[in-house]
Structure 1
C-alpha cells in the first residue's frame, strides 16, 4: 500500500465500523469519534493526522485489512473447519453463577469469563462496553476492575460502539488487561499486535461474541419514535438479558415502561439497520479471538425463553488454558460437546454470509470502489460456486447498491451540528 488512504476515504467508502482505534492512534486533538446524524460512530478529523499515525491506521483499520489465523501456527491435533476456522474446544455451557447466567446475555458466558479473569488475578482490568449512564440507549467503552463492575455492564448492546478509543492509553499504563468485544475490534487489536509488541504482553486475553452485525442507532431511535418517546426521557434501555434471550426493556422518567420480545425486535433482519461494513464482514465469528462465545438456538433463532446457554469456541492455547481453568473453578459449566455442523445450525446466517462474501468483494472491485484486503479466511474456497444463482445475486446486488450510492457515507459531522 504505497498511497495512504485517508480517514475520510475510509468513512465515505462505507468501510468504517467505528471501533475508535484511529482516535487512540492519532490522539483526540486530531481525531474524535462522534455520533453522526445518521446514527453512526465515525472519526471526525479536528486537525491533520500526521503521516506516521495515518500509516499505522492503514495497517490496522479493520475496514481496510483483516488477516486470519496463520495456518503454520495452528496446533496439531486440533480441528480446523472450512467455515468456522480453528476449533480447539467447542462446547455448550453457561456461567456457573446463576445470577450472571440470568442477568447477562444468553448463558452469561462472556461475563463469567471476564469475571473469572479478575477474580483469578490473571488481569487487573477488563476493557469492554456498557450502557452510557447519561444516554442509556447508547453504549460506551468502560474498564472494569471487579466482577461486580463486569456484571453491572453485562447484557448485549445492539448499536454503535467504539471500545478502542483509549486502547493505546491502556498500553501506556502497563497493567495487564483483557478485552471483550466484537470480532472486528479483536481483528484491529491483532493487527496492532503485529506493529506494537506491548499488545501481546499487556492485552493478555481477547474474547468476543459471534456477531450478527452492528446496527445504526436509528434502529433504536425508530423504536422510541413508535412509542412517542424522546431519547432524553429514557432512564433504561436494556437490549437483552434477565433471561435468554431476554426482552428489550425501556423505562422513562415518568414511570412508564415497555418490553419487546427478541422476535419482535430482531426476527426481521431487514429492520436491523446494519452498517455497510457489517454486510462485507470477513470475520463475524471471531477467528482471531482466544475464545468466541455465541448464541446457540437450533435453527438460528429462539422459540421462547430458557435458562440460558452459550456455545464456546476456544481458538488459541491461551484461550484453551483460560477456559479449562474457568471450568475447574466453577465459573463456567460445560453441558456437552458441540460440532461444527451444530454451529452451522445455531448460526445459519453466518454460513450464508461467508459463502456470499467473495462475490460481494468481487462486485466492489468490478465497480471500482475502495475494497478491503481480507486474507487467510477461506472466502474464495468457501464461496458459492460460480453456477450457483446466489453467487450472481450477491455479485449483482452489491454492484447495484454501489451504483445507487447506498454504500457511500456523507462526510463526517457531529450529531446536532
Structure 2
C-alpha cells in the first residue's frame, strides 16, 4: 500500500484540490497570502510574494487540507456520528428568526443568545456582501440584531477564518458560526494559540452537504439573463423551510427557484474537490452542529422551520440548555444516531467511503490530510470502486486546482 503523505506547502494544498478557501492563511500571514477568487470561482490564497513553506508552518499545522481531526468530548459515542451529548430537534424561539433563517434558525438563535446574555461580545461568521450579494464575506456581528439580519445559508465560497486574527485582536469573548472544516481548523490552531482557549466561547456549524464554487450561482444568473452587477439580493434559502432561492435586481425584477429546482440536479452543484474528500461534514470539532432533518434528505414542501441539533461538548450542552431556558431556542423531540442515518444518508455513505477515496489519492501520489479521531479506518467500506474512482480522477487531474495568479 502506498504510504499517505501530507502537503508540504500552501500551494501544494491548493494545487492538489485540498483547499476549501477557509481564509486561515490570510489571517495568519496577510503579508504572504490574500484570498482571491480564482478563474474557477473558488476562493483561494494568492501569494503576495515568494512562497516560504517554513514561515507557513503555523498555517499548515491547522490547514484543513493538511489536518482534519476531532477529539471525543461528549458522553455518548456513535461510530458514524461521533461524540455527542445530545441529538434532537430544535428551532428558534423568535418566530421572525425561525422564518427568515435557513431551516429553523438554530445557529442564528444561539448567536443571538450569546450576545444578548453578554457571554460573547461578537460573532465571527459570513454574510452576503452588500456590494456583490451573490458572494459572501466574513463579518463580525456585535449585536443580536446584526446576527439576525445576516441569517441564512451561503452556499458559495466563504472565507470566514480570514477574520480570525482580527477577532482575536479584539481580546473579547466571541463565537464563530462557520463550516465544519473551519471548526477543525480552529481547533487545530488553538493548539498553537492560547488566545482561542480563553476567548472563543462557542464554535457553531451547519452539517454540510458541500460548498459549491461560484459557478453554481453564476449558472443561475446565466439561465435568468441577469448580470451579477445588477443584483441587489441573492438569498439562497430562508423565508420558509427550506425556502426559495430569491434574486432581486436594481431595476426591480425578481426571480425565485424552489429548493428542489435549485438543488435537485446534483450534477450541477459544482461542489469543490475538498468537499468530495471531506472526512468531517458533520461538525465533530464544533460545540453545536445544526442539520436539515428531512426524512430521506428530501423536503416535502415548506414548513415552519426546524433543525436537527447535534450537541458535541459540555460547553455546547450548557449553551443549548441556557438558550432553551431563556426562550431563545425551543427544544423538540429527541433523536438517536440511526434517525440521522435516515435524515442524512449521504453523510453515512461519505464517512464509509472516505478511507477508500484517500487510498486512491495516495496511490496516485497525491497528498492527503491527517484524520485522527474521525474513525475513517474503522468505518472503511473497503469499496474498491471508490478507491479506483479516486485514483482515476486524481491521475486525470479531476481534483486539480490552481493558485490565483500562478
Q: What's the TM-score once normalised by structure 2's chain length?
A: 0.97
Distance, in Å, in 1 between the alignment partners of 2:309 and 2:79 is: 18
TM-superposition CA deviations, 1:61-91 (whole Å, max 9, x none): 0011111214xxx45xx22000001120111
Residue 24 (structure 1) aligns with: 27
CA shift, 1:166, in A, is: 2.2
Residue 38 (structure 2) aligns with: 36
TM-superposition CA deviations, 1:308-335 (whole Å, max 9, x none): 0101111111001000000000000011
1:166 to 159, 163, 167: 163
1:397 is the counterpart of 2:400: no
Residue 208 (structure 1) aligns with: 205
Residue 403 (structure 2) aligns with: 411
CA shift, 1:3, in A, is: 9.6
Equivalent pair of 1:26/1:49 in contact (CA under 8 Å): no
Moved over 2 A (4+): 1-4, 48-53
Residue 153 (structure 2) aligns with: 156
**Number of aligned residues:** 403
Helix, strand or coil at the partner of 1:151? helix
1:345 is the counterpart of 2:348: no
CA shift, 1:51, in A, is: 5.3
Helix, strand or coil at the partner of 1:369? coil
Helix, strand or coil at the partner of 1:336? strand
Helix, strand or coil at the partner of 1:80? strand
Helix, strand or coil at the partner of 2:161? coil
Distance, in Å, in 2 between the alignment partners of 1:166 and 1:209 is: 19
Q: What's the TM-score once normalised by structure 1's chain length?
A: 0.94
CA shift, 1:52, in A, is: 5.4
Distance, in Å, in 2 between the alignment partners of 1:150 and 1:132 is: 14
Equivalent pair of 1:26/1:50 in contact (CA under 8 Å): no
1:82 is the counterpart of 2:79: yes
TM-superposition CA deviations, 1:8-37 (whole Å, max 9, x none): 11111111000000011112x321000111
RMSD: 1.6
Q: 1:287 to 1:3 in 2, by over 3 A?
A: closer
2:247 to 235, 245, 250: 250
Question: Which runs of no fewer than 5 residues in structure 2 stay unpaired?
Answer: none
Helix, strand or coil at the partner of 2:317? helix
Distance, in Å, in 2 between the alignment partners of 1:34 and 1:307 is: 38
Equivalent pair of 1:176/1:204 in contact (CA under 8 Å): yes
Question: Which runs of no fewer than 5 residues in structure 1 stay unpaired?
Answer: none
Instruction: Write out aligned runs for 1:363-374 (5 A).
Output: 363-374=360-371
Instruction: Write out aligned runs for 1:6-405 (5 A).
Output: 6-27=9-30, 29-49=31-51, 53-70=55-72, 74=73, 78-384=75-381, 386=382, 391-405=383-397
Distance, in Å, in 2 between the alignment partners of 1:378 and 1:207 is: 22
Distance, in Å, in 1 between the alignment partners of 2:253 and 2:282 is: 38
Distance, in Å, in 1 between the alignment partners of 2:61 and 2:26 is: 14
CA shift, 1:58, in A, is: 1.3
Helix, strand or coil at the partner of 1:157? coil
